[in-house]
Chains A and B, each alone.
Chain A
């Protein structure tokens, strides 16, 4: 028999207890978890008595959790308080965009979902003529969205960084439309909850195409300008804190720098050791400066002289392309000029 200590409850007027005590576990009143680790002598909660079964139950559940591991994730649609139509409307009003409801609902429907639904209905024996699955695909919207996104992002890049070459623009656009970035944005905008797909958790590929389909739907509903603003506010902002050469892998920065300088008719860069520390130790530091016609282009540190020289070439390229950390930030004000695809005459923001 488990010995338990008798808890003597000092009878206080409830109002005074209210003033002095506090609720230890907020689950006490909702779930009736009366077991508390804080105080065994003074009852700090406002329930009747300590439940004898609570401790055993909690320990059993914890043991079960340890053996079986955490429960598998459930889609939001299978959790309580879900109304699809209301959620879709809330989606469009939360983002302050006016989507047309049919287009938006079509954008969330993936071909894998339609296929699985057909198979499920056939397996259940439902006649396909009696209850036809009237759901459109999002492939068309996805294609439109992809084309629009790529063109908008390229135009935005060229406008913000006029001296950036095409390879750099392509690399930035490829990074922004890559699976990790798009899926991160989609998950945080609740597109993952609204997606209709065969598998859960939604695969990256499916989520990516759903996001682009939503962009396509927005483009159809509100026009290119609003869709452009949406992309600028949600996708372009993922560039914050990102370095140019994290997105664009350049193997030979010195060669590229020589090309750029010769295009601008400037003298070729000469590397010079500016400062060094601990050159004879196992952890040396060298600062190498690149001089073009005796004027400093860029200076950068490195573990070895060669590494510092390569780093200096990268810094010089960043300065030439205007992608430094201290550049003027992008203009997100409401009065900014709209960015329609095809317009190249845009002063760099």
Chain B
């Protein structure tokens, strides 16, 4: 950028980064869009579909994703074994209990362009159900991306002072009132 040697500038421009995303309490669709953008390389000004400029994305805590609405019960994932009578439909809950990485994986797969580069990009997506990452992945990481959804706090996560400072609709009657 600011007066590097030409070779150093080129190396830095075309290097592949490793991004980390924490999927705890996040909607898998939003996680998937962030992954898809970075796997394709669309966040870089040097992007071209044929240039293979995508980065690696590591998603952790994929077991703790949070669908909004009733999608855990209503969203259906279908598959066919190619044999007669082999059509299978499972709910998101069932699929998630079988394989905690599948929901995020299918979401990202569906958001990537439908061409031969998709499989290569999926190879650069690394999913982990919990937050214990292997050492070689930890070595490679560059940056952690901010979570797309702000996690709301439970009532027991608010301190007593915050609870008292919260505005009330009416003043509660004193205990001694009869």
Minimum Cβ distance to chain A for residue B136 (Å):
5
Neighbouring A residues of B78 by C-beta, 8 Å: none
From B5, B56, B139, A311 is in contact (CB under 8 Å) with B5
Would A302 and B8 be within 8 Å (CB), given that A243-B3, A278-B16, A283-B16 are in contact?
Answer: yes
Contact check, B16 vs A279: say whether CB atoms are below 8 A apart: no
The answer, yes or no, to whether A66 is at the interface (CB within 8 Å) is: no
Neighbouring B residues of A319 by C-beta, 8 Å: 2-3
Give Cα distance in the complex from A30 to B9, angstroms.
Answer: 52
The answer, yes or no, to whether B93 is at the interface (CB within 8 Å) is: no
Would A311 and B3 be within 8 Å (CB), given that A275-B143, A277-B18 are in contact?
Answer: no
- Report the interface size for chain A: residues with CB under 8 A from the other chain: 28
The answer, yes or no, to whether B166 is at the interface (CB within 8 Å) is: no
Contact check, A277 vs B142: say whether CB atoms are below 8 A apart: yes
Contact check, A302 vs B11: say whether CB atoms are below 8 A apart: yes
Neighbouring B residues of A323 by C-beta, 8 Å: 3
The answer, yes or no, to whether B15 is at the interface (CB within 8 Å) is: yes
The answer, yes or no, to whether A315 is at the interface (CB within 8 Å) is: yes
Instruction: Report the nearest A residue to B136, measured CB to CB.
Output: A280
The answer, yes or no, to whether B17 is at the interface (CB within 8 Å) is: yes
Contact check, A315 vs B140: say whether CB atoms are below 8 A apart: no
Give Cα distance in the complex from A325 to B1, angstroms.
Answer: 9
Contact check, B18 vs A300: say whether CB atoms are below 8 A apart: no
Give Cα distance in the complex from A180 to B11, angstroms.
Answer: 28
Instruction: List B residues 1-39 near A (Cβ within 8 Å).
Output: 2-6, 8-9, 11-12, 15-18
Would A318 and B3 be within 8 Å (CB), given that A278-B140, A280-B139 are in contact?
Answer: yes
Give Cα distance in the complex from A325 to B56, angstroms.
Answer: 31
The answer, yes or no, to whether A245 is at the interface (CB within 8 Å) is: yes
From B5, B139, B142, A275 is in contact (CB under 8 Å) with B142
From B2, B56, B142, A276 is in contact (CB under 8 Å) with B142
Instruction: Report the nearest A residue to B135, measured CB to CB.
Output: A280
Instruction: List A residues 126-150 near B (Cβ within 8 Å).
Output: none
From A277, A318, A325, B17 is in contact (CB under 8 Å) with A277
Would A280 and B140 be within 8 Å (CB), given that A311-B5, A318-B3, A325-B2 are in contact?
Answer: yes
Neighbouring A residues of B2 by C-beta, 8 Å: 315, 319, 324-326
Neighbouring A residues of B142 by C-beta, 8 Å: 275-278
The answer, yes or no, to whether A271 is at the interface (CB within 8 Å) is: no
Neighbouring B residues of A279 by C-beta, 8 Å: 139-140
Neighbouring A residues of B18 by C-beta, 8 Å: 277-278
Give Cα distance in the complex from A278 to B8, angstroms.
Answer: 16
Minimum Cβ distance to chain B for residue A288 (Å):
11
Neighbouring A residues of B143 by C-beta, 8 Å: 275
Contact check, B3 vs A325: say whether CB atoms are below 8 A apart: yes
Contact check, B6 vs A243: say whether CB atoms are below 8 A apart: yes
Give Cα distance in the complex from A308 to B7, angstroms.
Answer: 12
3 interchain residue pairs of minimum CB distance: A301-B12, A285-B15, A277-B142
- Chain A interface residues (CB < 8 Å from chain B): 243, 245, 275-281, 283-285, 287, 300-303, 307-308, 311, 314-315, 318-319, 323-326
Beyond A281-B16, A301-B15, A308-B8, list 19 extra A-B contacts (CB 8 Å).
Answer: A243-B5, A277-B15, A277-B140, A278-B15, A278-B142, A283-B16, A285-B11, A285-B12, A285-B15, A287-B12, A301-B4, A301-B8, A303-B11, A311-B5, A314-B5, A315-B3, A323-B3, A325-B3, A326-B2
A-B contact pairs, 29 of them (CB 8 A): A243-B6, A275-B142, A276-B142, A277-B15, A277-B18, A277-B140, A277-B142, A278-B15, A278-B16, A278-B142, A279-B140, A280-B139, A280-B140, A281-B16, A281-B140, A285-B15, A287-B12, A300-B4, A301-B4, A301-B11, A302-B11, A307-B8, A311-B4, A311-B8, A314-B5, A318-B3, A319-B2, A324-B2, A324-B3
